[in-house]
């Protein structure tokens, strides 16, 4: 099964989206912080069309201003 369909992965991305919105960071602002030309990259991750790797996850968290450890704890709760 692809990880983008995994419930724990979806919870992780859902957490990331909620935190981004709570911090009032738009997809475009996040893409700019990450050095991407537009928000398509972020949109595809948030819509489960593209899987992010661990380094992308850490970079996204840091760009939003959230602790990646908090997100990883979501994955660890499932074990």
Nearest partner of 51 among 18, 79, 12, judged by Cα:
12
pLDDT at site 8: 87
CA distance 1 to 63: 29
pLDDT tens digits for 7-33? 888 999 999 999 999 999 999 999 999
CA distance 2 to 69: 23
Domains of the chain, residue spans: 3-71
Instruction: Provide the CATH topology of domain 3-71.
Output: 434 Repressor (Amino-terminal Domain) (1.10.260)
Tell me how far CA of residue 35 lies from CA of 16, 26, 28, 63, in angstroms.
19, 14, 10, 10
pLDDT tens digits for 44-65? 999 999 999 999 999 999 999 9
Rounded to an integer, what is the distance from CA 4 to the centroid of its chain? Answer: 12
Supply the pTM of this predicted model: 0.87
């Amino acid at each position: 099964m692809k990880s983008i369909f995994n419930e724990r992965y979806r919870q992780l991305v859902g957490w990331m989206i909620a935190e981004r919105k709570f911090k009032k960071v738009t997809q475009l602002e996040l893409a700019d912080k990450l050095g991407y030309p537009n928000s398509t990259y972020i949109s595809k991750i948030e819509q489960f069309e593209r899987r992010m790797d661990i380094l992308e996850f850490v970079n996204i968290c840091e760009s939003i201003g959230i602790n990646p450890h908090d997100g990883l704890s979501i994955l660890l709760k499932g074990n």
